[in-house]
Structure 1
């Protein structure tokens, strides 16, 4: 006889054998890992975030028994199109825990139809991927099957994902059935490119445009998922993931899944930046402060530092664009973005107070053009450096409207030092980043002696030039001399216009009146006044009038040339030559040549 202690189980324990695995434990150990995007797929309309308008419409339609026979869900990837289609299928076929329920906007997720639809095994809910079933034969199977009633559900439902991938013939084959389907059939379409769906199909469906999910709601959703997973994630890291998701819950959950695997028991903002190749927002604000201060060397050093940390130049420029956009929103008094840190909001408020709208818009356009060049350039880092230098030197230029006004008034305009004088004070953290970026270059022995390579060194002044006092320039003696002086002093195009198309009415420096012989640009008078002020140092009164004027200089030259030709033809020697050689022509002959002969 064997006692209870001598049972086979006890003997096995006594021999030191391991306990055989229990069936439930073995099944749990064998279950593969499910990614967060699948694990946290919404199972009810309450869990569907960011689509309140659609949920309200569907709820009212179900309560009032005004259900359409075809629904079309459209939107960007990851906003819940397929999930919404499955939720609608559950809402229409739910029978409740007691088996007596009807269509409801709040499916129970307990009854057999709800569980079968959630697990993708319900015989009356057919999902088809139009990307791999594009032909007429695939649609013909649906047309043949809709004639038969549902096997176990209230409605037979066909979910066609990426419906825009169906061929033209397949769409045409589906039209008649889609317009007048049997009462027990519902069609649910999902697509990311609704513009590719024929209008004949759109007109037969009730369309729902699923919106991008706001970053704030995504961050809250990701925080809830992190709590359920037992992972600590920094709020700033959640904000970064929500921004990178661009309104897509699936994309954000995939990034969060990767970030959890990347971290060691927790997820920090620095880990997310490293994983996504994002630039440190503090470093971006420091770089923007250097740009606004006109510190070219410091800006290049800051860009190089980010590049050495593995940040792509295009990511740096995108970060700068985001900062400029934040400054603009702060200037117009936009609502605070909760995804921004307190430091960012303070920095944007400080900069917005010192930058005009024109300066902000010009900065945006320059950075946007720079980003386009970086994305297409064979050398992205070099293209980014040139883009930043263009931003700095464009900032040194005065506003175009103010410049034209000053030139029209004959005022001298100096471009030196305007950027540094007009730049708003940088926030403390940006000033610290600027000093750190400049310190690296300051250690170089050439930093204090050599000018930057993009600036021209001033020409050395000669002793004679220093000794000779510079007197005020004198006005040209005649209109012809004035035109020649303009051509020699950097205004050849203006001189050509005055020479060919303008006759002088009155020339009494510092006053000139001209009469254009053809329509001219309205900027001619303004440009001439500015050029004359620069040439003579005086403010000229320039006007265009319709009174009698001398012929243009071009017309005078033509008349002089014709008179000279006539003088040559009237000379006795030329007349004798024509008489001796009938049919001869006069070419290349001048009056001076005749006299020398």
Structure 2
């Protein structure tokens, strides 16, 4: 049994209606055929594999069809059957490869044969492929024949380089430029062919086929034919396409981009090592990384780019890109894309491609060494992101009004937030202090009692929960998990934390991110000391450990550190800051219900006894109501007003 023909031969169009992506050419040709206004010479130009020679054959079939003038060949007459797909051909339609027949002698021989009348057709048609390979002398030998041909003669020149066709020949022809086929139209065509071949095609593999084809229908069909030949019972899968076409897997690109967002140099250079050790082409990795940065730049500028078709990604990949783009500022993305684009030119002829790839990553990671305008913008974006994690504006504006007596004392402006929270216990004016717990950060009001009253009591408590994970003797269960793996799974961990305890979920989603994983110790970075202490004293570390066990099946010890540059990695949206008057008015309506919800976490309402206090099993109660009020002020911009005072 003979092997089947290649896809681009089996599915070669036989009418102009079957030619895809070239409506600007096929429509005028069909009108000219129907109106019997066909020129004696045509020049078809454009990229390879876009349908130039195929359209020339269709034009020859339509010209010699027995029902002519007609826009599309009938397919039933002898001439149409001879020139059909897989047909024997016609003696009156001559195809010449100019790459091997482009000299003066070949042009002289063609000129002598051209004056003979066609054998059985209406016209004798010469299709000269790769016409740019004809020498200038050969074109000059054909010039008089092309300018004044006999009535039965038609010329169709096809070329990828029309500028190499001498001007005197071009001026005698009707020039039709072909174009590359748009990706969306080519994707639909590929799916249609896969259904015809009864072969499955994963949606994530289709963009790789279209991208490998580069807009050329013939090249795309050749790539698809290769994948069809190597496919198994599952059809064309994403893994098969990545391996055969040499593209970088999405998981490796995700790991690199998320590491760039977190300034994790260890993970970035680990990805480079994986690229080299797996035998992938460093230049191809840089090209794929540039494509990913391109998608992120567009998604950052146009949040609905996936719905409008500006980026061609499946729905599940769009959610991943939206999560990744949240970790970048626009200037950082454009700067990273520019650096990768510049590095691609340096890869040409490079003797040490790994070194070039590592230098490219180092430039992206260190904007401080970049003195360009983009580098300054990137550093400014980082400073603004760090400042956004400082004390909110409403507390700063309300601080002078809430504590006028402590304003003159300013010897230590960088007072720690935790000593400031214990200050209302020793302040001289007890009435107004509880109404503004979060305003204590801009109040370096009483640094004198700081070493005596504030430091000894709260400091021993953050270290207390750390011995609890000591009963976890088997941290080897994760199986060589990395920091990048934890960052990738962090949204699922936060979802589980939300189910266990809402208080911990609010704190983590708005104030924390994964810093590092060292063996069996997971380090979380929180934006300030107050958030770190609240996380430890409220027992939230136990909630996170339970969520990690449920989602990732690991038993890790948690450490909480303070990092002002820690950007939230959760999915919870941050509430916009409100003015002090509006926040006070809103919080005065339901202050007790909000406080009680924050204290209870996931505990049902019926377990709370108003007379006996909050359930002692809830770890938030150990810290009193002050943490809840500080949380409201810090994250919602609210000012807590005592109901007994405002009747």
User: TM-score if structure 2 supplies the norm length?
Assistant: 0.57
- List per-residue Cα deviations over 1:515-539 (Å, max 9, x = no partner): xxxxxxxxxxxxxxxxxxxxxxxxx
- Please name the residue that 2:557 is paired with: none
SS at match of 2:347: helix
Which segment drifts farther, 341-350 or 183-192? 341-350
* Aligned partners of 2:329 and 2:381 also within 8 Å: no
User: Per-residue CA shift, 1:245-273, capped at 9, x if unaligned?
Assistant: 00011111111111112221311011000
Identify the match of residue 355 of structure 2 among 377, 382, 389: 382
- Greater radius of gyration (CA): 1
- Say if 1:89 and 1:288 are closer, same or farther in 2 by CA, change over 3 A: same
* CA distance 1:79–1:389, shift in 2 (3 Å): same
> CA 1:423–1:274 in structure 2 vs 1: closer, same or farther (change >3 Å)?
farther
> Aligned equivalents of 1:378 and 1:225: distance in 2?
42
Task: Report what 2:487 is aligned to.
Answer: 431
2:298 and 2:310 in contact (8 A); partners too: no
Q: Deviations over 1:291-313 (max 9, x none)?
A: 23211111111222233333211
1:414 positional shift: 8.7
- Which of residues 298, 305, 319 is equivalent to 2:288? 319
Contact 1:215 1:247 in 2 (8 A): yes
Q: Which SS does the other structure have where 1:56 is aligned?
A: helix
Alpha-carbon spacing, 1:363–1:433, altered in 2? closer, same or farther (3 Å): farther
CA distance in 1, matches of 2:179, 2:53: 14
Of 165, 169, 178, 2:137 maps to: 169
1:213 to 165, 178, 181: 181
Return closer, same or farther for 1:403/1:230 CA change in 2, 3 Å cut-off: closer
How much has 1:147 moved relative to structure 2? Answer: 1.4
Map 1:259-408 onto structure 2 (within 5 A). Answer: 259-265=227-233, 266-333=235-302, 335-337=308-310, 339-349=312-322, 355-394=328-367, 400=373
Deviations 1:52-107 (A, max 9, x none): 11111111111222211111111111111111110111111112xxxxx1132221
* Residue correspondence of structure 1 range 27-426 to structure 2 within 5 A: 29=1, 31-95=2-66, 101-118=67-84, 119=87, 121-265=89-233, 266-333=235-302, 335-337=308-310, 339-349=312-322, 355-394=328-367, 400=373, 418=383, 421=386
Following TM superposition, by how much is the alpha carbon of 1:402 offset from its aligned partner in structure 2, in angstroms? 9.8
Q: Which runs of 5+ in 2 are unaligned?
A: 390-483, 492-513, 522-647
User: 1: CA distance between counterparts of 2:380 and 2:486?
Assistant: 25
**Cα separation, partners in 2 of 1:277 and 1:84, compared to 1, 3 Å:** same
Query: Structure 2: how far apart are the matches of 1:53 and 1:423?
Result: 53
Kindly state the Cα deviation for residue 339 of structure 1 after the two structures are TM-superposed.
3.3
Q: Distance in 2 between matches of 1:35 and 1:419?
A: 57
SS of 2:366's equivalent in the other structure is helix
Q: CA deviation at 1:349?
A: 4.3
Question: Equivalents in 2 of 1:176, 1:423: separation in Å?
Answer: 77
Q: What is the Cα deviation at residue 399 of structure 1?
A: 7.3
Q: Deviations over 1:474-523 (max 9, x none)?
A: xxxxxxxxxxxxxxxxxxxxxxxxxxxxxxxxxxxxxxxxxxxxxxxxxx
- For these two proteins, the number of residue pairs brought into alignment is 399
Q: Is contact 1:298–1:441 with CA below 8 Å preserved after alignment?
A: no
Q: Which residue of 2 aligns with 1:570?
A: none
Cα distance in 1 for partners of 2:388, 2:143 equals: 63
In structure 2, C-alpha distance between the alignment counterparts of 1:81 and 1:418, rounded to whole Å: 56
Report the CA distance between 1:347 and its aligned residue. 4.3
Distance 1:284 1:176, change over 3 A: same
Query: Could you say if the C-alpha distance between residues 378 and 441 of structure 1 is closer, same or farther in structure 2, counting changes exceeding 3 Å?
Result: farther
Question: Partners of 1:260 and 1:124 in 2: how far apart?
Answer: 37
CA offsets 1:392-442 (integer angstroms, 9 cap, x no match): 1127758738969xxxxxxxx999975984999xxx99931899xx99994
